[in-house]
Amino acid sequence: MKGDGEAGGGPEASGEQSVRPAPASARSVRPGRPVVVRVPATSANLGPGFDALGLALTLHDVVEARIIPDGISIEVSGAGEESAAAGEGHLVIRAMRAAFGMLGGQPPGIGLRCVNAIPQGYGLGSSAGAIVAGLLAARALGAELLSLATQIEGHPDNVSACLAGGLTIAWRSSSGVRTARLAPVPGLTPVVCVPELPLATAEARQVLPAAVPHADAAANSARAALLIAALTSDPGLLMPGTEDFLHQPYRTAVMPATADLVSRLRAAGIPAVVSGAGPTVLALIVAGTHPGPEAVAPIASGTRTEWQIHVLDVDRDGAMLQATSSENAPHLSRRVDELGRAVREGPVSMEQPQGHRRGPRGGQRRPVTQQDGQDDDLEPVERAKLVERPDRLRPADQVNVAVRRA
In a domain, 96, yes or no: yes
Lowest mean pLDDT of 87-91, 113-117, 357-361, name the range: 357-361
pLDDT exceeds 60 at position 372:
no
Domain-terminating residue out of 311, 344, 362: 311
Domain that holds residue 79: 24-183+315-398
| Residue 392 backbone class (left: φ over 0; alpha: ψ -120 to 50; beta: rest) | alpha
pLDDT exceeds 70 at position 84:
yes
In a domain, 12, yes or no: no
pLDDT exceeds 50 at position 92:
yes
In a domain, 385, yes or no: yes
> Tell me, what CATH number does 39's domain have?
3.30.230.10
pTM of the model: 0.74
Confidence of residue 349 (pLDDT cuts 50, 70, 90): very low
pLDDT exceeds 70 at position 230:
yes
Cβ 283 vs Cβ 309: under 8 Å: no
pLDDT at 98: 92
Q: What is the mean pLDDT of the chain?
A: 77
Question: Among residues 260, 240, 242, which one has the least CA distance to residue 251?
Answer: 260
Question: Among residues 243, 273, 242, 239, which one has the least CA distance to residue 258?
Answer: 273
pLDDT at 154: 82
pLDDT digits (tens, 9 = 90+) for 184-214: 999 999 999 999 988 887 788 889 999 999 9
Terminal Cα-to-Cα distance of the chain (whole angstroms):
19
Domain-terminating residue out of 311, 343, 366: 311
> Tell me, what CATH number does 207's domain have?
3.30.70.890
Indicate the number of domains in the chain: 2
The SS3 of residue 48 is: coil
Per-residue DSSP letters for 157-176? HHHHHHHH-SEEEEEEETTE
